[in-house]
Protein backbone atom coordinates (compact mmCIF):
# COMPACT_ATOMS: atom_id res chain seq x y z
CA UNK A 1 0.00 0.00 0.00
CA UNK A 2 1.15 3.56 -0.41
CA UNK A 3 1.57 4.06 3.35
CA UNK A 4 3.91 1.06 3.44
CA UNK A 5 5.85 2.50 0.53
CA UNK A 6 6.29 5.78 2.41
CA UNK A 7 7.49 4.18 5.61
CA UNK A 8 10.02 2.19 3.58
CA UNK A 9 11.31 5.29 1.87
CA UNK A 10 11.84 7.07 5.18
CA UNK A 11 13.91 4.11 6.48
CA UNK A 12 16.05 4.39 3.40
CA UNK A 13 16.54 8.09 3.77
CA UNK A 14 17.53 7.58 7.40
CA UNK A 15 20.24 5.17 6.29
CA UNK A 16 21.30 7.48 3.41
CA UNK A 17 20.36 5.09 0.59
CA UNK A 18 19.71 6.86 -2.70
CA UNK A 19 16.15 8.06 -3.24
CA UNK A 20 14.32 5.22 -5.03
CA UNK A 21 12.95 5.93 -8.49
CA UNK A 22 9.36 4.92 -9.14
CA UNK A 23 8.68 2.97 -12.34
CA UNK A 24 5.47 2.09 -14.13
CA UNK A 25 5.51 -1.69 -14.03
CA UNK A 26 3.31 -4.39 -15.56
CA UNK A 27 3.24 -7.75 -13.77
CA UNK A 28 1.77 -10.62 -15.77
CA UNK A 29 0.00 -13.16 -13.55
CA UNK A 30 -1.61 -12.98 -10.10
CA UNK A 31 -0.56 -16.37 -8.73
CA UNK A 32 1.82 -16.66 -5.79
CA UNK A 33 4.70 -15.15 -7.73
CA UNK A 34 2.71 -12.24 -9.14
CA UNK A 35 1.21 -11.46 -5.73
CA UNK A 36 4.66 -11.53 -4.15
CA UNK A 37 5.81 -9.18 -6.90
CA UNK A 38 2.97 -6.66 -6.60
CA UNK A 39 3.49 -6.31 -2.88
CA UNK A 40 7.27 -5.92 -3.11
CA UNK A 41 7.12 -3.50 -6.04
CA UNK A 42 4.52 -1.32 -4.36
CA UNK A 43 6.52 -1.29 -1.14
CA UNK A 44 9.41 0.04 -3.14
CA UNK A 45 7.19 2.82 -4.49
CA UNK A 46 6.54 1.57 -8.03
CA UNK A 47 3.24 2.09 -9.84
CA UNK A 48 2.06 -1.43 -10.55
CA UNK A 49 -0.59 -2.97 -12.80
CA UNK A 50 -1.16 -6.71 -12.69
CA UNK A 51 -2.76 -8.47 -15.65
CA UNK A 52 -4.53 -11.69 -14.71
CA UNK A 53 -6.38 -13.73 -17.30
CA UNK A 54 -8.54 -15.62 -14.76
CA UNK A 55 -11.59 -14.31 -12.94
CA UNK A 56 -9.72 -14.39 -9.63
CA UNK A 57 -6.23 -14.45 -8.12
CA UNK A 58 -4.45 -17.64 -6.96
CA UNK A 59 -2.99 -19.08 -10.17
CA UNK A 60 -2.64 -22.85 -9.84
CA UNK A 61 -4.47 -22.72 -6.50
CA UNK A 62 -7.61 -21.36 -8.14
CA UNK A 63 -9.07 -24.81 -8.81
CA UNK A 64 -10.89 -25.05 -12.12
CA UNK A 65 -13.23 -28.02 -12.59
CA UNK A 66 -13.23 -27.35 -16.35
CA UNK A 67 -10.72 -28.99 -18.65
CA UNK A 68 -9.84 -28.40 -22.24
CA UNK A 69 -12.13 -31.12 -23.63
CA UNK A 70 -11.15 -30.52 -27.23
CA UNK A 71 -7.46 -31.06 -26.42
CA UNK A 72 -7.13 -33.22 -23.28
CA UNK A 73 -3.47 -33.85 -24.08
CA UNK A 74 -2.82 -30.10 -24.11
CA UNK A 75 -0.82 -30.63 -27.26
CA UNK A 76 -1.66 -27.22 -28.72
CA UNK A 77 -0.08 -24.20 -27.00
CA UNK A 78 -1.26 -22.15 -25.27
CA UNK A 79 -3.67 -24.16 -23.14
CA UNK A 80 -6.89 -22.36 -22.30
CA UNK A 81 -7.45 -23.71 -18.77
CA UNK A 82 -4.62 -22.52 -16.52
CA UNK A 83 -4.81 -24.61 -13.34
CA UNK A 84 -3.60 -28.20 -13.38
CA UNK A 85 -4.82 -28.94 -9.85
CA UNK A 86 -6.88 -32.07 -9.31
CA UNK A 87 -9.70 -32.04 -6.81
CA UNK A 88 -8.04 -34.20 -4.15
CA UNK A 89 -4.68 -32.38 -4.21
CA UNK A 90 -3.09 -31.67 -0.84
CA UNK A 91 0.06 -29.69 -0.13
CA UNK A 92 3.34 -31.57 -0.37
CA UNK A 93 5.04 -29.31 2.16
CA UNK A 94 3.68 -28.49 5.63
CA UNK A 95 1.75 -25.24 5.85
CA UNK A 96 4.30 -23.62 8.19
CA UNK A 97 6.88 -23.84 5.39
CA UNK A 98 4.52 -22.24 2.89
CA UNK A 99 3.77 -18.66 3.74
CA UNK A 100 5.07 -15.20 2.98
CA UNK A 101 7.83 -14.17 5.41
CA UNK A 102 5.58 -11.89 7.47
CA UNK A 103 2.18 -13.47 6.84
CA UNK A 104 2.13 -17.00 8.24
CA UNK A 105 -0.03 -19.61 6.60
CA UNK A 106 -1.81 -20.28 9.89
CA UNK A 107 -4.82 -22.54 10.06
CA UNK A 108 -8.08 -20.61 9.87
CA UNK A 109 -9.77 -22.43 12.74
CA UNK A 110 -13.16 -20.91 13.28
CA UNK A 111 -13.23 -19.30 9.84
CA UNK A 112 -16.41 -21.27 9.23
CA UNK A 113 -17.39 -23.85 6.64
CA UNK A 114 -14.77 -24.77 4.12
CA UNK A 115 -11.69 -24.15 6.26
CA UNK A 116 -9.15 -26.94 6.33
CA UNK A 117 -6.93 -26.82 9.44
CA UNK A 118 -4.75 -29.79 8.45
CA UNK A 119 -0.99 -29.35 8.42
CA UNK A 120 -0.96 -30.50 4.78
CA UNK A 121 -4.22 -28.90 3.64
CA UNK A 122 -6.05 -29.20 0.34
CA UNK A 123 -5.62 -26.72 -2.54
CA UNK A 124 -8.58 -24.56 -1.54
CA UNK A 125 -6.94 -23.61 1.72
CA UNK A 126 -3.94 -22.20 -0.18
CA UNK A 127 -6.29 -20.22 -2.42
CA UNK A 128 -8.03 -18.78 0.68
CA UNK A 129 -4.64 -17.89 2.16
CA UNK A 130 -3.67 -16.03 -1.01
CA UNK A 131 -7.00 -14.15 -0.99
CA UNK A 132 -6.36 -13.18 2.66
CA UNK A 133 -2.88 -12.01 1.66
CA UNK A 134 -4.38 -9.77 -1.05
CA UNK A 135 -6.83 -8.28 1.42
CA UNK A 136 -4.26 -7.80 4.19
CA UNK A 137 -1.94 -5.84 1.91
CA UNK A 138 -4.59 -4.07 -0.16
CA UNK A 139 -3.40 -5.53 -3.46
CA UNK A 140 -6.75 -5.97 -5.19
CA UNK A 141 -6.91 -2.52 -6.75
CA UNK A 142 -3.69 -3.19 -8.69
CA UNK A 143 -5.06 -6.33 -10.35
CA UNK A 144 -7.03 -6.36 -13.61
CA UNK A 145 -8.90 -9.65 -13.66
CA UNK A 146 -10.13 -11.37 -16.84
CA UNK A 147 -7.31 -9.62 -18.67
CA UNK A 148 -4.86 -11.69 -20.69
CA UNK A 149 -1.51 -10.36 -21.95
CA UNK A 150 -1.38 -11.40 -25.58
CA UNK A 151 1.63 -9.46 -26.87
CA UNK A 152 4.50 -7.86 -24.99
CA UNK A 153 7.24 -6.34 -27.13
CA UNK A 154 9.70 -3.47 -26.90
CA UNK A 155 8.06 -0.10 -27.51
CA UNK A 156 9.73 2.23 -30.01
CA UNK A 157 12.20 4.46 -28.10
CA UNK A 158 11.01 8.03 -27.31
CA UNK A 159 14.44 9.60 -27.90
CA UNK A 160 17.91 8.41 -28.78
CA UNK A 161 19.44 6.83 -25.66
CA UNK A 162 16.16 6.68 -23.72
CA UNK A 163 15.46 3.67 -21.47
CA UNK A 164 13.72 0.60 -22.80
CA UNK A 165 9.95 0.51 -22.51
CA UNK A 166 7.42 -2.22 -23.24
CA UNK A 167 4.27 -2.13 -25.31
CA UNK A 168 1.70 -4.42 -23.69
CA UNK A 169 -1.36 -5.62 -25.55
CA UNK A 170 -4.01 -7.13 -23.30
CA UNK A 171 -7.37 -8.60 -24.10
CA UNK A 172 -10.52 -8.85 -22.00
CA UNK A 173 -11.58 -12.46 -21.50
CA UNK A 174 -15.19 -13.50 -20.94
CA UNK A 175 -14.96 -15.71 -17.83
CA UNK A 176 -17.50 -18.35 -18.86
CA UNK A 177 -16.70 -18.82 -22.52
CA UNK A 178 -13.01 -17.84 -22.28
CA UNK A 179 -13.69 -15.74 -25.41
CA UNK A 180 -11.37 -12.80 -26.02
CA UNK A 181 -13.38 -9.61 -26.55
CA UNK A 182 -11.66 -6.19 -26.55
CA UNK A 183 -8.01 -5.15 -26.74
CA UNK A 184 -6.06 -2.46 -24.91
CA UNK A 185 -2.50 -1.23 -25.54
CA UNK A 186 -0.36 0.39 -22.88
CA UNK A 187 3.30 1.27 -22.47
CA UNK A 188 5.26 0.35 -19.31
CA UNK A 189 8.79 1.03 -18.07
CA UNK A 190 9.18 -2.57 -17.00
CA UNK A 191 7.52 -5.98 -17.23
CA UNK A 192 7.67 -8.75 -14.63
CA UNK A 193 6.63 -12.13 -16.00
CA UNK A 194 4.99 -14.29 -13.30
CA UNK A 195 2.90 -16.67 -15.37
CA UNK A 196 3.96 -19.95 -13.73
CA UNK A 197 5.12 -23.11 -15.46
CA UNK A 198 2.73 -25.91 -14.53
CA UNK A 199 0.14 -25.42 -17.27
CA UNK A 200 1.60 -26.30 -20.66
CA UNK A 201 1.88 -30.11 -20.82
CA UNK A 202 5.12 -31.77 -21.75
CA UNK A 203 4.36 -34.97 -23.63
CA UNK A 204 6.63 -37.94 -24.20
CA UNK A 205 7.16 -39.30 -27.66
CA UNK A 206 5.95 -42.91 -27.63
CA UNK A 207 5.64 -45.16 -30.61
CA UNK A 208 1.96 -45.47 -31.64
CA UNK A 209 0.68 -42.48 -29.64
CA UNK A 210 -0.67 -40.77 -32.75
CA UNK A 211 -2.60 -43.81 -33.94
CA UNK A 212 -4.02 -44.92 -30.57
CA UNK A 213 -7.78 -44.34 -30.68
CA UNK A 214 -8.67 -44.75 -26.99
CA UNK A 215 -8.57 -41.96 -24.40
CA UNK A 216 -5.27 -40.16 -23.83
CA UNK A 217 -4.91 -37.16 -21.58
CA UNK A 218 -2.27 -35.24 -19.66
CA UNK A 219 -2.53 -34.84 -15.90
CA UNK A 220 -3.23 -31.14 -16.66
CA UNK A 221 -6.72 -32.35 -17.66
CA UNK A 222 -7.28 -34.77 -14.77
CA UNK A 223 -9.63 -33.58 -12.03
CA UNK A 224 -11.44 -36.51 -10.38
CA UNK A 225 -11.33 -40.33 -10.62
CA UNK A 226 -15.06 -40.72 -11.45
CA UNK A 227 -14.76 -40.84 -15.26
CA UNK A 228 -12.34 -43.80 -15.03
CA UNK A 229 -14.65 -46.09 -13.05
CA UNK A 230 -14.18 -49.75 -14.03
CA UNK A 231 -11.45 -48.92 -16.56
CA UNK A 232 -7.93 -50.18 -17.06
CA UNK A 233 -5.76 -47.08 -16.83
CA UNK A 234 -2.08 -46.64 -17.58
CA UNK A 235 -0.42 -43.75 -15.75
CA UNK A 236 2.86 -42.67 -17.34
CA UNK A 237 5.32 -41.02 -14.93
CA UNK A 238 5.53 -41.43 -11.20
CA UNK A 239 6.40 -38.03 -9.84
CA UNK A 240 4.06 -36.48 -7.27
CA UNK A 241 1.09 -36.15 -9.65
CA UNK A 242 1.55 -39.60 -11.24
CA UNK A 243 1.74 -41.28 -7.85
CA UNK A 244 -1.23 -39.36 -6.42
CA UNK A 245 -3.41 -40.00 -9.44
CA UNK A 246 -2.52 -43.69 -9.74
CA UNK A 247 -3.27 -44.32 -6.06
CA UNK A 248 -6.51 -42.36 -6.28
CA UNK A 249 -7.61 -44.37 -9.32
CA UNK A 250 -7.13 -47.69 -7.52
CA UNK A 251 -10.37 -46.83 -5.68
CA UNK A 252 -12.50 -46.89 -8.85
CA UNK A 253 -10.55 -48.45 -11.72
CA UNK A 254 -10.36 -52.16 -12.51
CA UNK A 255 -6.57 -52.03 -12.95
CA UNK A 256 -4.01 -49.26 -12.72
CA UNK A 257 -0.61 -49.67 -14.38
CA UNK A 258 2.00 -47.13 -13.40
CA UNK A 259 4.99 -46.73 -15.70
CA UNK A 260 8.14 -45.33 -14.06
CA UNK A 261 11.10 -43.94 -15.98
CA UNK A 262 13.47 -45.85 -13.67
CA UNK A 263 13.21 -47.72 -10.41
CA UNK A 264 15.22 -44.93 -8.74
CA UNK A 265 12.23 -42.58 -8.96
CA UNK A 266 9.96 -44.96 -7.03
CA UNK A 267 9.46 -43.39 -3.60
CA UNK A 268 9.09 -45.45 -0.39
CA UNK A 269 5.50 -44.14 -0.19
CA UNK A 270 4.75 -45.53 -3.63
CA UNK A 271 6.28 -48.91 -2.78
CA UNK A 272 3.97 -49.10 0.24
CA UNK A 273 0.95 -48.12 -1.88
CA UNK A 274 1.76 -50.88 -4.38
CA UNK A 275 1.92 -53.40 -1.56
CA UNK A 276 -1.47 -52.20 -0.29
CA UNK A 277 -3.43 -52.17 -3.57
CA UNK A 278 -3.87 -55.42 -5.52
CA UNK A 279 -4.96 -53.54 -8.63
CA UNK A 280 -1.88 -51.26 -8.79
CA UNK A 281 1.01 -52.55 -10.91
CA UNK A 282 4.40 -50.96 -11.47
CA UNK A 283 6.30 -51.17 -14.80
CA UNK A 284 9.47 -49.76 -16.20
CA UNK A 285 8.56 -47.30 -18.98
CA UNK A 286 6.17 -47.61 -21.92
CA UNK A 287 7.58 -48.90 -25.18
CA UNK A 288 4.62 -48.48 -27.50
CA UNK A 289 0.87 -48.18 -27.85
CA UNK A 290 -0.64 -50.78 -30.18
CA UNK A 291 -3.68 -50.15 -32.33
CA UNK A 292 -5.54 -53.05 -30.64
CA UNK A 293 -5.47 -51.06 -27.39
CA UNK A 294 -2.50 -52.80 -25.79
CA UNK A 295 0.10 -50.71 -24.01
CA UNK A 296 3.45 -52.50 -24.18
CA UNK A 297 5.85 -51.81 -21.31
CA UNK A 298 9.63 -51.83 -21.49
CA UNK A 299 9.77 -55.05 -19.45
CA UNK A 300 7.86 -56.82 -22.25
CA UNK A 301 4.56 -57.10 -20.35
CA UNK A 302 1.42 -55.40 -21.69
CA UNK A 303 -2.07 -54.32 -20.65
CA UNK A 304 -5.09 -53.56 -22.81
CA UNK A 305 -6.00 -50.10 -21.55
CA UNK A 306 -9.02 -47.82 -21.84
CA UNK A 307 -7.08 -44.69 -20.93
CA UNK A 308 -3.49 -43.46 -20.77
CA UNK A 309 -2.76 -40.50 -18.48
CA UNK A 310 0.57 -38.74 -19.03
CA UNK A 311 1.94 -37.33 -15.78
CA UNK A 312 5.07 -36.21 -17.54
CA UNK A 313 5.43 -32.63 -16.37
CA UNK A 314 5.15 -29.19 -17.90
CA UNK A 315 7.05 -26.82 -20.17
CA UNK A 316 7.91 -23.17 -19.74
CA UNK A 317 5.92 -21.16 -22.23
CA UNK A 318 5.61 -17.41 -22.79
CA UNK A 319 3.48 -17.17 -25.95
CA UNK A 320 2.87 -13.44 -25.41
CA UNK A 321 6.51 -12.40 -25.10
CA UNK A 322 8.38 -11.07 -28.14
CA UNK A 323 12.06 -10.52 -27.48
CA UNK A 324 13.45 -11.06 -31.00
CA UNK A 325 15.23 -14.18 -29.81
CA UNK A 326 16.89 -12.53 -26.82
CA UNK A 327 15.06 -14.80 -24.38
CA UNK A 328 14.49 -18.37 -25.54
CA UNK A 329 13.09 -21.59 -24.09
CA UNK A 330 15.01 -24.70 -25.00
CA UNK A 331 14.17 -28.01 -23.35
CA UNK A 332 12.85 -26.15 -20.29
CA UNK A 333 15.82 -23.80 -19.98
CA UNK A 334 14.78 -20.15 -20.12
CA UNK A 335 17.88 -18.58 -21.52
CA UNK A 336 20.00 -16.59 -20.79
CA UNK A 337 18.73 -15.70 -17.32
CA UNK A 338 21.04 -14.22 -14.71
CA UNK A 339 20.23 -15.94 -11.38
CA UNK A 340 16.99 -17.20 -13.00
CA UNK A 341 15.51 -13.66 -12.86
CA UNK A 342 16.99 -11.12 -15.29
CA UNK A 343 17.86 -11.67 -18.98
CA UNK A 344 21.64 -11.42 -19.30
CA UNK A 345 21.22 -8.76 -21.97
CA UNK A 346 20.25 -5.10 -22.34
CA UNK A 347 16.65 -6.22 -21.64
CA UNK A 348 17.59 -6.29 -17.93
CA UNK A 349 16.33 -4.90 -15.67
CA UNK A 350 13.26 -3.75 -17.60
CA UNK A 351 12.28 -7.39 -18.18
CA UNK A 352 12.37 -9.90 -15.34
CA UNK A 353 10.90 -13.25 -14.32
CA UNK A 354 9.63 -14.21 -10.88
CA UNK A 355 8.88 -17.86 -10.14
CA UNK A 356 11.11 -19.65 -12.66
CA UNK A 357 13.08 -21.98 -10.33
CA UNK A 358 11.67 -25.36 -9.39
CA UNK A 359 11.81 -27.21 -6.08
CA UNK A 360 11.99 -24.06 -4.00
CA UNK A 361 9.89 -23.09 -1.05
CA UNK A 362 7.17 -20.86 -2.41
CA UNK A 363 6.26 -18.12 -1.77
CA UNK A 364 9.33 -17.17 0.32
CA UNK A 365 11.55 -17.63 -2.62
CA UNK A 366 9.34 -15.61 -4.96
CA UNK A 367 9.21 -12.85 -2.38
CA UNK A 368 13.01 -12.69 -2.34
CA UNK A 369 13.16 -12.59 -6.13
CA UNK A 370 10.47 -9.91 -6.26
CA UNK A 371 12.20 -7.72 -3.72
CA UNK A 372 15.39 -7.95 -5.73
CA UNK A 373 13.54 -6.89 -8.90
CA UNK A 374 11.86 -4.02 -7.03
CA UNK A 375 15.17 -2.71 -5.74
CA UNK A 376 17.00 -2.99 -9.02
CA UNK A 377 14.18 -1.13 -10.78
CA UNK A 378 14.19 1.64 -8.18
CA UNK A 379 17.94 2.02 -8.46
CA UNK A 380 18.66 0.98 -4.88
CA UNK A 381 20.45 -2.20 -6.03
CA UNK A 382 22.65 -2.55 -9.04
CA UNK A 383 23.02 -5.45 -11.42
CA UNK A 384 26.48 -6.51 -12.59
CA UNK A 385 27.46 -5.42 -16.09
CA UNK A 386 25.97 -7.29 -19.03
CA UNK A 387 29.32 -9.00 -19.69
CA UNK A 388 29.50 -10.19 -16.08
CA UNK A 389 25.95 -11.54 -16.19
CA UNK A 390 26.69 -13.40 -19.43
CA UNK A 391 29.84 -14.86 -17.86
CA UNK A 392 27.89 -15.96 -14.79
CA UNK A 393 25.20 -17.67 -16.90
CA UNK A 394 27.89 -19.45 -18.92
CA UNK A 395 29.80 -20.52 -15.80
CA UNK A 396 26.61 -21.98 -14.31
CA UNK A 397 25.83 -23.78 -17.55
CA UNK A 398 29.31 -25.32 -17.65
CA UNK A 399 29.14 -26.34 -13.98
CA UNK A 400 25.81 -28.05 -14.58
CA UNK A 401 27.05 -29.82 -17.69
CA UNK A 402 30.11 -31.02 -15.79
CA UNK A 403 27.84 -32.32 -13.02
CA UNK A 404 25.71 -34.16 -15.61
CA UNK A 405 22.56 -32.11 -14.91
CA UNK A 406 20.27 -32.31 -17.97
CA UNK A 407 19.16 -29.09 -19.64
CA UNK A 408 15.56 -29.76 -18.65
CA UNK A 409 16.58 -29.29 -14.99
CA UNK A 410 18.26 -25.96 -15.72
CA UNK A 411 16.07 -24.17 -13.17
CA UNK A 412 16.20 -26.83 -10.50
CA UNK A 413 18.38 -24.93 -8.08
CA UNK A 414 17.81 -27.28 -5.21
CA UNK A 415 21.12 -28.77 -4.17
CA UNK A 416 22.73 -27.75 -7.47
CA UNK A 417 23.60 -24.12 -6.81
CA UNK A 418 24.45 -23.77 -3.13
CA UNK A 419 25.93 -20.36 -3.92
CA UNK A 420 22.75 -19.35 -5.75
CA UNK A 421 21.90 -15.71 -5.97
CA UNK A 422 24.73 -14.38 -3.84
CA UNK A 423 24.01 -11.19 -5.72
CA UNK A 424 20.33 -11.37 -4.85
CA UNK A 425 20.99 -12.06 -1.18
CA UNK A 426 23.42 -9.15 -0.98
CA UNK A 427 20.85 -6.88 -2.56
CA UNK A 428 18.14 -8.05 -0.19
CA UNK A 429 20.05 -8.01 3.04
CA UNK A 430 20.47 -4.22 2.94
CA UNK A 431 17.94 -3.09 5.57
CA UNK A 432 16.26 -6.50 5.35
CA UNK A 433 17.95 -9.06 7.55
CA UNK A 434 14.70 -10.98 7.90
CA UNK A 435 14.22 -11.61 4.19
CA UNK A 436 17.83 -12.72 3.96
CA UNK A 437 17.23 -15.20 6.74
CA UNK A 438 13.97 -16.42 5.28
CA UNK A 439 15.45 -16.79 1.86
CA UNK A 440 18.28 -18.89 3.19
CA UNK A 441 15.96 -20.91 5.40
CA UNK A 442 13.70 -21.61 2.47
CA UNK A 443 16.63 -22.70 0.43
CA UNK A 444 18.06 -24.90 3.16
CA UNK A 445 14.63 -26.43 3.76
CA UNK A 446 14.28 -27.20 0.07
CA UNK A 447 17.68 -28.83 -0.01
CA UNK A 448 17.16 -30.86 3.13
CA UNK A 449 13.83 -32.23 1.91
CA UNK A 450 15.31 -34.01 -1.10
C1 LIG B 1 -0.72 -30.38 -9.36
C2 LIG B 1 0.21 -29.40 -8.72
C3 LIG B 1 0.56 -29.53 -7.38
C4 LIG B 1 1.40 -28.61 -6.76
N5 LIG B 1 1.70 -28.77 -5.45
C6 LIG B 1 2.51 -27.88 -4.83
C7 LIG B 1 2.81 -27.97 -3.44
O8 LIG B 1 2.32 -28.87 -2.75
N9 LIG B 1 3.64 -27.05 -2.88
C10 LIG B 1 4.20 -26.05 -3.63
O11 LIG B 1 4.94 -25.23 -3.09
N12 LIG B 1 3.94 -25.93 -4.95
C13 LIG B 1 3.12 -26.81 -5.56
N14 LIG B 1 2.84 -26.68 -6.90
C15 LIG B 1 3.52 -25.63 -7.66
C16 LIG B 1 2.72 -24.33 -7.61
O17 LIG B 1 2.16 -24.13 -8.86
C18 LIG B 1 3.62 -23.19 -7.26
O19 LIG B 1 4.00 -23.36 -5.90
C20 LIG B 1 3.00 -21.82 -7.36
O21 LIG B 1 1.60 -21.84 -7.37
C22 LIG B 1 3.47 -21.13 -8.63
O23 LIG B 1 3.01 -19.81 -8.58
P24 LIG B 1 3.18 -18.86 -9.84
O25 LIG B 1 2.57 -17.58 -9.44
O26 LIG B 1 4.59 -18.88 -10.29
O27 LIG B 1 2.35 -19.55 -11.01
P28 LIG B 1 0.79 -19.83 -11.13
O29 LIG B 1 0.22 -20.23 -9.84
O30 LIG B 1 0.66 -20.77 -12.28
O31 LIG B 1 0.18 -18.41 -11.52
C32 LIG B 1 0.39 -17.81 -12.77
C33 LIG B 1 -0.74 -16.87 -13.07
O34 LIG B 1 -0.48 -16.22 -14.31
C35 LIG B 1 -1.69 -16.11 -15.04
N36 LIG B 1 -1.36 -15.98 -16.46
C37 LIG B 1 -0.71 -16.86 -17.26
N38 LIG B 1 -0.58 -16.38 -18.52
C39 LIG B 1 -1.16 -15.15 -18.50
C40 LIG B 1 -1.33 -14.14 -19.50
N41 LIG B 1 -0.88 -14.29 -20.75
N42 LIG B 1 -1.98 -12.99 -19.14
C43 LIG B 1 -2.44 -12.82 -17.87
N44 LIG B 1 -2.31 -13.75 -16.91
C45 LIG B 1 -1.66 -14.89 -17.21
C46 LIG B 1 -2.43 -17.38 -14.71
O47 LIG B 1 -3.81 -17.29 -14.98
C48 LIG B 1 -2.09 -17.55 -13.22
O49 LIG B 1 -3.05 -16.92 -12.41
C50 LIG B 1 1.96 -27.57 -7.54
C51 LIG B 1 1.63 -27.42 -8.89
C52 LIG B 1 0.74 -28.33 -9.47
C53 LIG B 1 0.38 -28.15 -10.91
For residues 37 and 99, state if they share a domain. Answer: yes
- Whether pLDDT at 12 is above 60: no
pLDDT at 387: 96
For residues 208 and 175, state if they share a domain. Answer: no
For the chain, what is the mean pLDDT? 87
Domain-located, residue 6: no
pLDDT tens-digit series, residues 309-357: 999 999 999 999 999 999 999 988 999 999 899 999 999 999 999 999 8
CATH of the domain at 97: 3.50.50.60
For residues 329 and 436, state if they share a domain. Answer: yes
Dist. CA 32 → ligand 1 center (Å): 7
For residues 363 and 246, state if they share a domain. Answer: no
Domain-located, residue 121: yes
Q: What's 107's DSSP letter?
A: -
Q: Which residues contact 381 (CB under 8 A, 6 or more apart)?
A: 372, 375, 427, 430
pLDDT tens-digit series, residues 75-117: 888 898 999 999 999 998 888 888 898 899 988 776 667 789 9
CB of 82 sitting under 6 A from ligand 1:
yes
The Cα 424–Cα 421 span in angstroms is 5
Number of domains the chain is built from: 2
Domain boundary pick from 310, 330, 363? 310
Domain boundary pick from 263, 278, 310? 310
Least confident of 43-52, 225-234, 351-360, 418-427: 418-427
For residues 295 and 323, state if they share a domain. Answer: no
For residues 373 and 285, state if they share a domain. Answer: no
For residues 319 and 224, state if they share a domain. Answer: no
CA-angle at 144, arms to 138 and 146, nearest 5°: 130
* Mutate which of 168, 196, 197, 318 for ligand 1 pocket (most atoms within 8 A of beta carbon): 196
Helix 364-378 to helix 422-429 angle (10° resolution) is 70
| Rounded percentage of the chain residues whose pLDDT exceeds 90 | 65
Distance from CA of residue 175 to its chain's centroid?
A: 22
For residues 191 and 224, state if they share a domain. Answer: no
| DSSP helix/strand/coil, 449 | coil
- Whether pLDDT at 422 is above 60: no
* Mutate which of 85, 123, 195 for ligand 1 pocket (most atoms within 8 A of beta carbon): 195
CB of 200 sitting under 6 A from ligand 1:
no
For residues 228 and 249, state if they share a domain. Answer: yes
37: confidence class by pLDDT, cuts 50, 70, 90: very high
Listing from the earlier edge strand, what are the strands of the sheet with 215-218?
215-218, 307-310, 232-236, 255-260, 280-284
pLDDT at 141: 97
CB of 149 sitting under 6 A from ligand 1:
yes
Domain boundary pick from 244, 279, 310? 310
Nearest atom, ligand 1, residue 147 CA? 43
Who has greater pLDDT, 17 or 310?
310
Count how many Cα atoms sit within 13 Å of the Cα of residue 283 in the half-sphere of its side chain.
21
- Whether pLDDT at 440 is above 70: no
Query: What is the domain range of residue 281?
Result: 204-310
Cβ atoms 219, 86 nearer than 8 A: yes
Domain-located, residue 63: no
CB of 125 sitting under 6 A from ligand 1:
no
The Cα 433–Cα 439 span in angstroms is 10
For residues 154 and 26, state if they share a domain. Answer: yes
Average of pLDDT values for 272-284?
92
Who has greater pLDDT, 444 or 161?
161
Domain-located, residue 73: no
Q: What is the 3-state secondary structure (H, E, C) of 60-92?
A: HHCCCCCCCCCCCCCCCCCCCCCCCCCCCCECC
For residues 35 and 158, state if they share a domain. Answer: yes
pLDDT at 276: 92
Dist. CA 393 → ligand 1 center (Å): 25
Domain-located, residue 287: yes
Domain-located, residue 345: yes
H-type alpha helices, 226-363: 240-249, 268-276
For residues 284 and 426, state if they share a domain. Answer: no
Domain-located, residue 7: no
Average of pLDDT values for 115-143?
95
pLDDT at 195: 98
Residue nearest to atom 38 of ligand 1 (CA): 195
Amino acid sequence: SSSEAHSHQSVDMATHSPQPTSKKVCIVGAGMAGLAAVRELRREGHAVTVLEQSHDVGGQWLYDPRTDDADPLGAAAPVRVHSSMYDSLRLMSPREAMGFSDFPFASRDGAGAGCDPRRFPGHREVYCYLKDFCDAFGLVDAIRLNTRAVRIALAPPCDVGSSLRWQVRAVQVEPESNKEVSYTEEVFDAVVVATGHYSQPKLPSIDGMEQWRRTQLHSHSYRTPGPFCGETVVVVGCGESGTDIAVELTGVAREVHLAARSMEVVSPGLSKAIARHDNLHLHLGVERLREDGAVVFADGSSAVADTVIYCTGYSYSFPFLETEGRVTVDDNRVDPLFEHVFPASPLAPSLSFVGIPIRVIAPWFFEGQARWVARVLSGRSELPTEAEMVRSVEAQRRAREAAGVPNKLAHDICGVEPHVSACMITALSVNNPSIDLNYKMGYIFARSST
